[in-house]
Amino acid sequence: MLPVQLGTSDLFVSPIILGCMSYGVPDRGPHPWSLPEDQSQPYLQRALEAGITTFDTANVYSDGTSEEIVGRALAALARRDEVQIATKCFMELPSEPDVKGLSRSAIHTAIDSSLRRLGTDHVDLFQIHRWDTEVPIAETMEALHDVVQAGKARHIGASSMWAWQFAKAQEVARSNGWTPFVSMQDQYNLVQREEERDMLPMCLDQGVGVIPWSPLARGRLTRDWDDTATERSSSDLVTRRLYQDAEASNRAIVAAVSRVAEDRGVSRAQVALAWVRQQQAVTAPIVGATKPHHLDDAIDSVSLELTADELAALEEPYTPREPGF
Residue type at 186 in one-letter notation: D
Pairing of strands 4-5, 12-13: antiparallel
**Measuring CA to CA, which residue among 85, 277, 261 is closest to residue 188?**
277
Q: Please write down the long-range contacts of 287-294, taking CB distance under 8 Å and 24 or more positions apart.
A: 287/16, 287/17, 287/18, 287/19, 287/215, 287/216, 288/18, 288/19, 288/20, 288/21, 288/22, 289/18, 289/22, 289/43, 289/47, 290/22, 290/33, 290/34, 290/35, 290/43, 290/232, 292/46, 293/267, 294/269
Element (H, E) at 93: none
Q: Specify burial of residue 324 (Cβ count, 10 A radius: 0-12, 13-18, 19+).
A: buried
Return the amino acid letter for 165: Q
Decide if 61 is catalytic.
yes
Question: Could you say which of 23, 43, 61, 243 is catalytic?
Answer: 61
190-213 burial code (b ≥16 CB/10 A, e <16): bbbbbbeeebbebbbebebbbbbb
The sign one gets for the Cα dihedral 163, 169, 173, 178 is: negative
Pure H helices in 119-241? 137-149, 163-175, 199-206, 237-241
Are the beta carbons of 208 and 184 closer than 8 angstroms? yes
Q: How many CA atoms lie within 13 A of 57 on its CB side?
A: 30
Residues annotated as catalytic are 61
